Amino acid sequence: MASEKLASKLQRRLHWEEVDGGLQPAPRAAPVPEPQPQPSAWAPTARADAELSAQLNRRLDINEGAARPRRCKVFHPYSEFPEFSRRLIKDLESMFKLYDAGRDGFIDLMELKLMMEKLGAPQTHLGLKSMIKEVDEDFDGKLSFREFLLIFHKAAAGELQEDSGLMALAKLSEIDVALEGVKGAKDFFEAKVQALNSASKFEAEIKAEQDERKQAEEKRRLRQAAFRELKAAFST
């Protein structure tokens, strides 16, 4: 036992060195760093090819009807289309919902077909697909409300072909220019030109809406009061 303890002490002592009269642990050899793989010159090209391949695959899925719709960010029509008044956006929203037969927040090809027939400008199957493609930002093969507003934005900005289906849609849409608040305009496009040249007046429009609601509430209250008086007159 004594010999084993002595051997153990000797082994531990071999790991120490005398430095300046004191005992310090012997320095260990620094570990050799492993070589890191160097990025290859073709890595950016490979990533670009992968992104292009993913886009092409999604386009193929869209054409075959197998693509999943992407989630979009929250859409704020009043801030994204400041040239449109609140009244006009609400009118266009009502029109959009009218033809959104599926109530899914989109106008698909068949619903667009029905819309164009109702407006008196029927389109071929290829013509309908071309209309959607021109404003289809997310490549889902149907129109969201934002893309629907984009049609009228492009029409007002003169970015649509005169004989295109989208131009026919914008021209034939029943927009009440008087409610739009642009005086002296003969049609929607003249109103849009004037609206684009004037600043947005959301505060005034909001106040006008509040006044309309107050007037409607007052009329309802007066009708109820008149009904109660009439009822009381018949009761006596």
Please state whether the predicted TM-score (pTM) of the whole model is above 0.85.
Answer: no
Low-confidence ranges of the chain (pLDDT < 50): 17-20, 22-23, 26, 71, 176-186, 199
CATH 1.10.238.10 fits 77-172, yes or no: yes
- With beta carbons less than 8 A apart as the criterion, state whether 170 and 187 touch: no
Residue type at 137? E
Whole-number Å distance between alpha carbons of 158 and 194? 14
Task: Look up tokens 């409610």; give the residue.
Answer: 179
**pLDDT tens for residues 94-126?**
999 999 999 999 999 999 999 999 999 999 999
